[in-house]
Amino acid sequence: MSTQILSGTDVTEVTDVAIVGAGPVGLFAVFECGMLQLRCHVIDALPALGGQCVALYPEKPIYDIPAAPELTASELIARLQQQIAPFRPRFHLDQQVTELQRRDDAWELTTSRGTRIRARAVMVAAGVGAFGPNRPPLPGIEQYEGRCVHYLVAERERFRGQRLVIAGGGDSAVDWAIALADIAAEIHVIHRREQFRAAPETSARLHELAAKGKIQLVIPYQLAGLEGDGERLAAVVVKTLKGETRRIAADHLLAFFGLASKLGPINDWGLGAHNGVIPVDPSTGATSLPGVFAIGDIAGYPRKLKLILTGFAEAAHAAHAAHAVVHPDRALHFEHSTAAGVPIRES
């Protein structure tokens, strides 16, 4: 049963445990909590589950998950989703937790979308931080984002008749340059070297279009700056490693540099985060804030190993410790999954 507190037009979700991060460890924490009848809401900055697994290496094989000789990162996430499904966790995706505040005897989390979640226990399973587009460090770039600077293409029609600068050397940059070649007025592709990281056929197509003059390849250049009035872009400045610059008049910049992660707000929650690590008690995952635990890559203690399997074990420890926080007056009756199966709550 999902409880909500309604106050005017604001809705605060209420649950037992709020989990920050839907990577493999955050997901498995739902299982460990569920085995102790603790309900969970999970928040993640990405629009999909999987954390580093899907952001950095979805197709890469992983060999060190116990009992799984080989599986891809995305297969691991799919299996974890299956494992936690009986506990019906609630997910809040495509949003980042911005605030963590104490409210009476619980924690209240607020996200970048205004979602509010109240829980007596919090598990920070944030890995290496929230993933977002790898933003080129060009002064003033944020003011153009969403209007003239883009990290993905939602609607191709938007770029009809427009002058585009596409930056990046991988599949996304190459695929979109080809796909938009007939729609855009002009396309300049900026890359730092001759070789593109794309399938041979698509690379060939790109060079074919360049030979026909339908796109311009600007190599070996990197993004150096933006020119505009703060609302509309006028030009993109690019530079070689030797310092030669070119100014390319443009209406839109499409930057395809993959994903990057940032701890951001977590650094401000009083958890003692240092160089991306929150110090915890290794036996419980407890941080310096009562009821707040850290598990997975973000949790630190002497001789910590940053392995997924370590995070799985940390999730189990934290769930047991969280039980006492969520139900201080209730005994923890633990049964191995082999004895009683997976406890599913009605409603």
CB atoms under 10 Å from CB of 333, counted, come to 9
CB of 297 to another protein, least distance (A): 8
Binding residue for another protein, selected from 90, 197, 246, 304, defined by CB under 8 A = 197
Binding residue for another protein, selected from 185, 241, 249, 342, defined by CB under 8 A = 241
User: Rounded to whole angstroms, how far apart are CA atoms 120 and 322?
Assistant: 8
88 lies in the binding site for another protein (CB under 8 A): no
| Residue position matching structure tokens 């992660």 | 261
CB atoms under 10 Å from CB of 93, counted, come to 14
Closest CA to 307 of 55, 24, 93: 24
- Contacts with another protein: how many residues (CB under 8 A)? 30
| Cα angle 118, 119, 121; round to 5 | 150
Output 86 or 145, the one with its CB closest to another protein: 145
Indicate the residue type of 4: Q
- Strand pairing of 90-92 and 40-43? parallel
260 lies in the binding site for another protein (CB under 8 A): yes
Binding residue for another protein, selected from 306, 309, 310, 327, defined by CB under 8 A = 306
Closest CA to 30 of 140, 20, 1: 20
CB of 54 to another protein, least distance (A): 12
Q: Which ranges of 266-336 does DSSP label H, i.e. alpha helix?
A: 308-326
193 lies in the binding site for another protein (CB under 8 A): yes
Site mask for another protein (CB under 8 A), range 220-239, x = bound: --xx----------------
Binding residue for another protein, selected from 90, 246, 262, 327, defined by CB under 8 A = 262
Indicate the residue type of 277: V
CB of 57 to another protein, least distance (A): 5
Indicate the residue type of 51: G
Output 128 or 322, the one with its CB closest to another protein: 128
Interacting residues of 345 by C-beta distance below 8 A, sequence separation 6+: 1, 37, 39, 87
Output 107 or 256, the one with its CB closest to another protein: 256
Which residues inside 94-113 make contact with another protein, applying CB under 8 A?
Answer: none
Give the interface with another protein as residue ranges (CB under 8 A). Answer: 52, 56-57, 60, 128-129, 134, 136-137, 168-170, 191-193, 195, 197, 222-223, 241, 257-258, 260-262, 274-276, 297, 306
